[in-house]
Structure 1
Amino acid sequence: MGTFTMPSLGADMEAGILVEWLKQPGEELSHGDIIAVVETDKGAIEVEVFEDGRLDRLLVEPGTKVPVGTPLAEIAGSGTQAQASPPPEPHVPADAPVETAPPAPPVSARPEAEPVSSIAPIFGAGERISPAARKLAYDKELDLNALQGTGPDGAIILADVQKAAGLAAGGANRTRPRNLAPMRRAIAAAMSRSKREIPHYYLCHSFDVSAAREWLDAFNGGKPPAERLVFSALTLKAVALAVSEFPEFNGFYGQNGFSASRSIHVGIAIALRGGGLAAPAIHNTDRLSLPELMLAMNDLVSRTRAGGFRSSEISDPTVTVSSLGERGVEALLPIIYPPQVAIIGFGSVVQRAWATGGAVQVRPVMCATLAADHRASDGHRGALLLRRIEELLSHPEGL
């Protein structure tokens, strides 16, 4: 008999609200199945299981706020504690022995659950709304104050939003901005912890991206828009391949020191509609072809901006990439998201006078920056990492 527990979905998450069960007792579960929806400061997150078995018993009712690690359900046939997301696999770099953190002890007692009076109030205090209804309301920019809920205890359900959406074109509904206060508090807590605990060092490296731009133009030539690549697909793949050669930038720093990860799950910083930020992961980024990576990026960005990312995507990043190039920013100095140990930033591609082949020419130039944890790496290795990213982008046909 295994136990499915409230997952940790962020560096500073202490508790979450169980919004909805998507599986019921007696149903068979397979690795990766979505079992529940949990509300955190980042929004409603679909939570996966990573054990096969049968859902035996639910221990927590929807609408209940419980601490991380609280048993939520029992799963027959799994034989182990069911994880909400797989733990990172430790990998020791060949050139620097590192200590691997021991596994967390099993939960010996069920923490006291805290009942709450409202389910996932993401648009405003006191509102009760199902995850599907919330997503549609957000997409349609509906004012929930104008809706009449017909669900249990007056909760707004999907049918209520669908009915209202049909009236929206006639001007019956007004829009209002999303309540971002919980997300801003979560971001503030994580970034404050990062600057307080992590000894950052920063490096910046500018280089000519003519080869990458020319290869990209040739690849996209004649293809329909749905099959074209964007430049950020190349930078993501370059980062994934580079950290595979410099594993001290790909992993987590815990109580027992640094643990590198065998897997490379690159998190991408995504600006949310109306404000806020999330950085979910593209799993096994290094193994994806560029067209596969482009499809994964499009899917992840659209789901994240609609509030539809999954627990493994928000908890699994082993290194993060942030880009403000589309905003015209030439360079950025990002902050590491703990417990990760590195974040790489890319600015916009700009035209610069550049010395090449003994002459000065106008070339497309980009600045890549690295913020890294000095406990896990040093500036010498960081410089080699940025140089390797440049080399990979200089030969885009090999990405």
Structure 2
Amino acid sequence: MAEFTMPSLGADMDEGKLSQWLVHPGDQVTRGDVIAVVETDKSAIEVECFQSGTVDALLVDEGTTVPVGTPLARIGTTAETAESHPPESPPAEALPTESPPPSTPLVRRIARDRHVDLARVHGSGPGGGITRADVEHAEPATEPESGKITPTTRSAKPVRGDESTRERPAPLRVKSSPLARRLATELGVDIAEVTGTGRGGTVRAEDVRSAAAVVGPPRPAVPDSARTATARLMSRSNREIPHFYLSTTVDMAAALEWMHARNRELPLSARLVPAALTFKAVALAARKVPELNGHWIDDRFVPADEVRLGVAVSLRGGGLVAPALGHADTLSVAEVMAALKDLVARARGGRLRASETADPNITVTNLGDQGVEAVFGVVYPPQVALVGLGRIVERPVAVDGLLGVRPVLTATLSADHRAADGATGARLLTAMDRLLQQPEEL
């Protein structure tokens, strides 16, 4: 019997709050399925399981805060489940039942919340599987049958006691995002009294802030947990890491010309922005300079075997998160663009996954869209390097003895002097610059 434990979702995480279960005892799960939502000081994270089988028991109630490593649930393999629960002999004339299309626990939970009958949903995923987008575009049942217990309408928690209690409808839950619930707690707002403006009446963080403005200022004793967590991590960085800083000016003319040519061939929704090119260039540069792609652990540098590129994202409620793009050096520029849009949207919506919050190997912070020309960041421990990207501006530049106006970008590097020196840092910035002069190689 495997244990599903509270994961470590960052170097600074000691405990987490189990915000929501997405499965019930008896549910079948597959490795990689999202089965729970965990709230940290910074964000709400969708956590995947790493074992295929049947959920045997949920060991921790929703709303409970436990240390990292605490068992949250038990998951039995198919063989264990068959041994402990041998199949009953079917009736002689049992009618065949139609099994619903395959779906993940997260999709089933969303379907229950939206009163969507999965048996009526056409799956667009591999093998006809139902995806989150399929459920969100499906028409909900106008009047779900009360008291009928089915996989799509049962209550969020298993019902105990007399069988007659199953006929009672489950209490209504306010549809809200994890970020909205956390803000409501911090601002002293009763989320049940807030009118949601999101899809299907979902209460969003902006709705909670608007309600807080009407109710009055928040209690001063309640700290902003995301801001506090960021402050704690940055204090640790400045206390432990001897930083050094480098900068270079990158001519972006060739990269922008190539990007504009590509965009003329792409639909509006898939068009590229300069960040897609610069992030891909950083990922390839990190692969070329492995001395800066890894972690400082136990007084030594441990190189990584892949490029997990951290993306610094500012949260609307304050604070920062830096989820990772896995194998970023192997993605095409178009794939980097799509992944960035998806990652930033889910980070700000409180829908990150545990695999995305595992420590990146090198992080990029881009403040160009904020009008900043140069940013010298603070290294996220246990990483040893952070690349800063500023705004692309036009400057007079001498090229081949001729003075002209060129679009340029200031790229900076903040690095840990214990793991590398200036020459190593210069190699990374130079590699990034050369790649952006040949964008077709990205």
Measured against the shorter chain, the TM-score band is 0.7 to 0.9
Equivalent residue number for residue 269 of structure 2 = 226
Matches within 5 A, 1:29-108: 29-77=29-77
**Sequence identity of aligned pairs in percent?**
48
Q: Which residue of 2 aligns with 1:331?
A: 374
Give the equivalent residue in structure 2 for 1:25.
25
Q: Which one of 324, 328, 333 corresponds to residue 290 of structure 1?
A: 333
Q: Which of the two has higher C-alpha Rg?
A: 2
Q: Supply the distance in 2 between the matched residues of 1:70 and 1:222 (Cα, whole angstroms).
A: 51
Aligned to 2:122: none
Q: Which has the higher helix share?
A: 2
1:157 is displaced (CA, Å) by: 12
Structure 1's 259 and 181: CA in aligned 2 closer, same or farther, altered over 3 A? same
Deviations 1:148-183 (A, max 9, x none): 37xxxxxx9999995686xx99xx967579987101
Question: 1:66: how far off?
Answer: 0.6
Deviation at 1:136, TM superposition (A): 8.8
State how far apart, in whole Å, the 1-side matches of 2:59 and 2:260 are: 55
Partner of 2:441: 398
Give the secondary structure class of the aligned counterpart of 2:177.
Answer: helix
Q: In the TM superposition, what is the alpha-carbon distance from 1:10 to its structure 2 partner? A: 2.2
Query: Relative CO higher for 1 or 2, CA cutoff 8 Å, sep ≥ 6?
Result: 1
Q: Is the 1:252–1:258 Cα contact (8 Å) retained in structure 2?
A: yes
Deviation at 1:230, TM superposition (A): 0.4
Cα distance in 1, alignment partners of residues 5 and 202 from structure 2 = 36
Match of 1:258, SS? Answer: strand
Task: Summarize the Cα distance change of 1:77–1:260 in structure 2 as closer, same or farther, 3 Å threshold.
Answer: farther
What is the SS of the residue equivalent to 2:352?
A: coil
Amino acid at match of 1:3: E
Mapped partners of 2:175, 2:236: distance in 1: 33
Aligned to 2:25, the other structure's residue is in SS state coil
RMSD: 3.4
- 1:249 deviation in Å? 1.3
Partners of 2:431 and 2:438 in 1: CA distance? 11
Alignment of structure 1 residues 105-144 onto 2, 5 Å: 133-135=176-178
Q: Distance in 1 between matches of 2:260 and 2:36?
A: 43
**1:256-275 to 2 correspondence within 5 Å?**
257-275=300-318
Task: After superposing the two structures, state which structure 1 stretch, 360-369 or 266-275, moved more.
Answer: 266-275
CA separation of 1:40/1:274 partners in 2, compared to 1, >3 Å: closer, same or farther?
Answer: closer
Q: Tell me the residue number matched to 2:169.
A: none
Answer whether contact 2:45 2:353 (CA < 8 A) is retained.
Answer: yes
1:48–1:235 distance in 2 versus 1, CA, 3 Å: same
Normalising by structure 2, what TM-score? Answer: 0.70
- Structure 1 pair 159–235 and aligned structure 2 pair: CA distance change class (3 A): closer
How many pairs does the alignment contain?
A: 341
Shift in Å at residue 224 of structure 1? 2.9
**TM value normalised by structure 1:** 0.77
- Aligned AA (2:268): P
Quote the residue 2:238 is aligned against: 195
- Residues 247 and 410 in structure 2, CA contact (< 8 A), matched pair in contact too: yes
Match of 1:327, as an amino acid? Q
| SS of aligned partner of 2:250 | strand
CA contact (8 A) 1:130 1:158 kept: no
How far apart in 2 are the matches of 1:313 and 1:334? 21
Q: State the alpha-carbon separation in 2 of the partners of residues 14 and 130 from structure 1.
A: 30
Contact 2:177 2:349 in 1 (8 A): no
Q: Is the 8 A contact 2:176 2:202 kept in 1?
A: no
2:298 counterpart of 1:255: yes
CA drift of 1:29 comes to 2.6
SS at match of 1:294: helix
Looking at structure 2, the residues matched to 180 and 273 of structure 1 have their Cα atoms a distance apart, in angstroms, of 15
